[in-house]
Structure 1
Amino acid sequence: MGAYVAGGGEFNRDTNYITTRITADGADGYPVEPDRYRLIVARACPWANRTIIVRRLLGLEDALSIGFCGPTHDQRSWTFDLDPGGVDPVLKIPRLQDAYFARFPDYPKGITVPAIVDVPTGQVVTNDFAQITLDFSTEWTAYHREGAPQLYPEALRDEIDEVAQRIYTEVNNGVYRCGFAGSQDSYEKAYDRLFTALDWLSERLADQRYLVGDSITEADVRLFTTLARFDPVYHGHFKCNRSKLAEMPVLWAYARDLFQTPGFGDTTDFVQIKQHYYIVHSDINPTGVVPKGPDLSNWLSPHGREALGGRPFGDGTPPGPTRESERVPAGHGAA
């Protein structure tokens, strides 16, 4: 993700992404086709984690391959340091920037994940993380698995969009606004905004199991990836320390409910999450020391949210087991 701090010490996210879309009708020149594209992610990144979750819930593994960057990157680019020889086995490149430069030789902005690459040309198609998951739900329907859930049902889209927008500005981005604040005043304002939103979410979720409707939607995916990183990273590293997630009873139960749902906890890599933030953000953590804690075993404790009713996958079914080649490494989860 690309970001910068502007005058007054306030954090501003660079939101000028590559907005080309992969659609059923191919209006932008990139039609949905199986085996043509490769989704490039890093498990550490909350924005990329969303695409991993949605791809798995919808069962797009056969249609869209996935490549994993390592948890850290240098000033310029995410790299494929987890792969043999440090090269992506499909794209045959060592750095994600190679795919960006293949399409935009003078690409001036940050090299971000998630990104979708057109395998035949080796060119990046899009890094517009918010649109990517919506398109998985609406444009890739021909390749959804049988029993795929409706994560963006038409009847609820306006409400999902409204809730997701507030989650993005106040929570997903809000933690960064705290962590990268350049002055005491801007930090304190960011802190107040963040916890105002978390309190609003606690109220909303006190008597309903999911954010919109009675099953999991895109809005839940967008909130989950921030909550999963809250205690391991944001509470300490970003100074979001009014309370831990584990001290906010409704949100903590909600987060565990999702974590224990196939597609969520089994795509969450706490080791890479901590390595990314504490090593890459050398301006915030110059020693590069990565904390040992917190203890994660409580993610698997009973959450009691079933009492609120709801059907996690609506009329659909849970996804099957994670493919062996895509599993979070042993010891990196909450088991």
Structure 2
Amino acid sequence: MGLLQNGQWVDKWYPTEETGGKFTRSESSFRDWITQDGKPLDENSTGFKAESNRYHLYVSLACPWAHRTLIYLQLKGLQEIIGVTVVEPHMLTNGWEFSGSKQSPIAHHIEGADVDKLNAADFLYQIYQKADASYNGRVTVPVLWDMHTNTIVSNESAEIIRMFNSAFNHLVDNSCDFYPQTLRAEIDELNSWIYDSINNGVYKAGFATTQVAYNEAFEQLFTALDTLEKRLASQRFLTGDEFTEADIRLFTTLIRFDAVYVGHFKTNKQRIADYPHLFGYVKEIYQMDGVSQTVNFEHIKQHYYFSHEMINPTRIVPTGPDIDFNQPHGRTQINAQRVNLLQARF
């Protein structure tokens, strides 16, 4: 894990010694927007017009933040108009890298990673350098690239999925809305809490370098999971009966939890499989059309266990766990129970 300093690559871990052992995530740097008409959102941003075959997505199949964007491509039917390049799961001294790199320290190629045919880069940091030769900051996925202007539109997953939700609707026969106007306040509130406690919470536990910092993150994480288990006992999705952006953002953390976070990040109080309602919820989303093909457990496990040498110095990657996410999920019964309760009231 490294960063660019004045455009130069530096292999450097997060400076937790400056934060009392706590992991602090950096803000994303590229924050422009694609809109249907191409007009900028405000005077401080650049306008990018939603067009077919203009934009390209750089992702890791291991990364939960990038995973959000891949699910949106599937559910919104954007695969034919937005290209994708997948980096190798092993992230070593040069950060994220592409398959076929001649300078790579990686001993073997893992199926599912791509050569960068678009920009002929060996490493993702070179894409950042191409967009900004003096860039300062972490080199992260996802990256939404504009092929017309040869620059990065955004590297903030939360904003990329909002663009995918609406900006390209006139180009695809898919009007599903995962951020409906009537639920936006609730979705935003859920996102904020889930991000801090769960999405980023697993990292705050896993990357902590003091017992105090770890304990704090651990307790916050499992308090939040307990709360969600109770919430999902009486409703099918986070906001009720409607599947929204909040569910997608939560799912990409939960699907990795038992395979990686329980062991590697020491979040071992309970597995998601031990929460009946959370487990059923994860299985239902996994079984939605197009979602399961965005999940690659080989990339997920290879990335975390092999890349984080300071946590797992042997780089041994576990074979398990063996979890069948295609088992019956039972979540439609939750919806039926809610309907029956509502009918009984009137």
TM-score of the two chains, using structure 1 as the length reference = 0.87
Cα 1:222–1:204 shift into 2, 3 Å: same
Aligned mates of 1:295, 1:237 — CA distance in 2: 16
Residues 1:163 and 1:244: Cα distance change in structure 2 (over 3 Å): same
Return the match for 2:34 from 3, 6, 22: 22
Count of equivalent residues: 308
- The secondary structure found in structure 1 opposite 2:278 is helix
Aligned to 2:242: 215
Q: Which of residues 156, 168, 187 is equivalent to 1:160? A: 187
One-letter code aligned to 1:44: A
Identity %: 42
> What is the rounded CA distance, in whole Å, between the counterparts of 1:274 and 1:84 in structure 2?
14
Counterparts of 1:242 and 1:37, CA distance in 2:
42
Contact preservation (8 Å) 1:23, 1:30: yes
Is the counterpart of residue 306 in structure 1 residue 324 in structure 2?
A: no
Partner of 2:230: 203
For residues 222-269 of structure 1, the C-alpha deviation after alignment (integer angstroms, 9 at most, x for no partner) is: 000000000000000000000111111111111111111123222100
Structure 1 stretches of 4+ moved >6 Å: 82-86
Whose radius of gyration is greater, 1 or 2?
A: 2
Contact 1:79 1:86 in 2 (8 A): no
Which range moves more in the overlay, 301-310 or 215-224? Answer: 301-310
The residue type equivalent to 1:187 in the other structure is Y
Between 124-133 and 79-88, report the one with greater CA deviation.
Answer: 79-88
1:119 aligns with 2:147: yes
Secondary structure of 1:275's match? Answer: helix
Q: Is the 8 A contact 1:91 1:122 kept in 2?
A: no
Give the secondary structure class of the aligned counterpart of 1:72.
coil
Map 1:63-142 → 2, pairs under 5 A: 63-81=81-99, 87-142=115-170
Counterpart CA distance in 2 for 1:263 and 1:166 is 27
Could you tell me whether the CA contact under 8 Å between 1:279 and 1:290 is conserved in 2?
Answer: yes
What is the match of residue 324 of structure 1? Answer: none
Match of 1:117, SS?
Answer: strand
Gaps of 5+ in 2: 4-13, 41-45, 100-108, 337-346
Equivalent position amino acid for 1:51 in 2: T
Deviation larger for 118-127 or 152-161: 118-127
Aligned residue type for 1:302: P
Note if contact 2:89-2:113 (Cα within 8 Å) is conserved in structure 1: no
Q: Runs of 5+ in structure 1 lacking a partner?
A: 311-335
| Residue 64 of structure 2, aligned match among 46, 57, 68 | 46
Aligned residues of 1:9 and 1:182 also touching (Cα < 8 A)? yes
- 1:137-152 aligned at under 5 Å gives the runs 137-146=165-174, 148-152=175-179
1:126-158 residue CA offsets vs partner (Å, 9 max, x unmatched): 101111101111222212333x42111111111
Per the TM alignment, residue 16 of structure 1 is displaced from its structure 2 partner at its CA by 3.6
In structure 2, relative to structure 1, the CA distance for the partners of 1:84 and 1:251 (3 Å cut) is closer
Please give the secondary structure, in 2, of the residue aligned with 1:11: coil
Secondary structure of the structure 2 residue equivalent to 1:289 = coil
CA RMSD of aligned residues (A): 2.0
Whether the 8 Å contact between 2:260 and 2:304 is mirrored in structure 1 is yes
Q: SS of 1:38's equivalent?
A: strand
Instruction: Quote the Cα distance in structure 2 between the aligned partners of 1:213 and 1:155.
Output: 12
In structure 1, C-alpha distance between the alignment counterparts of 2:172 and 2:196, rounded to whole Å: 30
Distance 2:33 2:238 in 1: 27
When normalised by structure 2's length, the TM-score is 0.84
SS of 1:246 mapped into structure 2 = helix
Aligned-pair CA distance for 1:86: 6.5
Retained in 2: the 8 A contact 1:37–1:119?
yes
Distance 1:93 1:85 in 2: 14
Secondary structure, counterpart of 1:49 in structure 2: helix
Aligned partner of 1:10 in structure 2 is 22
Q: Distance in 1 between matches of 2:313 and 2:113?
A: 29
The equivalent of 1:62 in structure 2 is 80
Decide which moves more: 88-97 or 148-157: 88-97
CA distance in 2, matches of 1:25, 1:86: 32
Match of 1:329 in 2: none
